[in-house]
Amino acid sequence: ADIISTVEFNHTGELLATGDKGGRVVIFQREQESKNQPHRRGEYNVYSTFQSHEPEFDYLKSLEIEEKINKIRWLPQQNAAYFLLSTNDKTVKLWKVSERDKRPEGYNLKDEDGRLRDPSMITVLRVPVLRPMDLMVEATPRRVFANAHTYHINSISVNSDYETYMSADDLRINLWNFEITNQSFNIVDIKPANMEELTEVITAAEFHPHHCNTFVYSSSKGTIRLCDMRTAALCDRHAK
């Protein structure tokens, strides 16, 4: 379960995320350089650990779905929190990783334990205040993108528009919107009508870093195909 299956730096290189066969994601943070210990800058220490995927069972196909993390992709940082995508063979999840070093105190309608107070017993109006606390890193699931892949997911790639991403399995590539979890668009489908005529499978797929309409995918035949989503809804014919 501890064997690492994927690694990914965030865009600044400050954080390094690793996924393992046990479905866990461990995020490491780079040590800041100090005058006393200048050599420490190359070291990465554990920043956060969370369970991303659990083992599942597909009852329709009588198949066990492993919890192993196949790919991790970071989203560009927009605020103080970090966002990343992680996927196993079937399900992609969007995670938010955030820090908390203050806690609110002095609620009017709740006591310090979080229990609701009787409104008739409240006689004074209090202004809640933020008190410092020990730094806590929280990982919360924001989206779960499931039930779209028949075969095993091998790649995920975030588009440069930061609104969409794609996930690729052995025979198909799907395009997702980050806000929509129950629907995706199939943009590549190389599944033959007769599976006995199958000669190649998709091995990886990646968006262009700047042009949101362009992506490439590779196959087991050793070919890399460049596709342009402006030409057709289904990119079965590659641009180059």
Lowest mean pLDDT of 2-11, 46-55, 124-133, 207-216, name the range. 124-133
Q: Among residues of the chain, what percentage have pLDDT more than 70?
A: 96
**Cβ atoms of 214 and 167 closer than 8 Å:** no
Rounded distance between C-alpha atoms, residue 119 and residue 115, angstroms: 12
Distance, in Å, from the CA atom of 213 to the CA atom of 196, rounded to the nearest integer, reads: 33
Region of residue 161 (phi > 0: left; psi between -120 and 50: alpha; otherwise: beta): alpha
127, pLDDT greater than 90: no
Residue pair 10/25 in contact by the 8 Å Cβ criterion: no
pLDDT band, residue 31 (cuts 50/70/90): confident
User: Residue 171 and residue 168: Cα distance in Å, rounded?
Assistant: 8
pLDDT tens sequence across 184-237: 999 999 999 998 999 999 999 999 999 999 999 999 999 999 999 999 999 888
Residues 6+ apart with CB under 8 A from 3: 20, 21
| Tens digits of residue pLDDT in 46-96 | 999 999 999 988 787 778 888 999 999 999 988 889 999 999 999 999 999
d(CA 172, CA 116): 51
Q: Any residues with CB less than 8 A from the CB of 72 and at least 6 apart, and which? A: 6, 7, 8, 17, 18, 19, 25, 84, 85, 86
Please state, for a pLDDT cut of 90, what percent of the chain lies above it: 60
User: The pTM is what?
Assistant: 0.82
Beta-bridged to residue 87, according to DSSP, are 71, 92
Sequence ranges of the domains in the chain: 1-32+41-99+136-145, 148-239
Mean pLDDT of 152-164: 94
**How far from the centroid of its chain's Cα atoms is residue 130's Cα?**
31
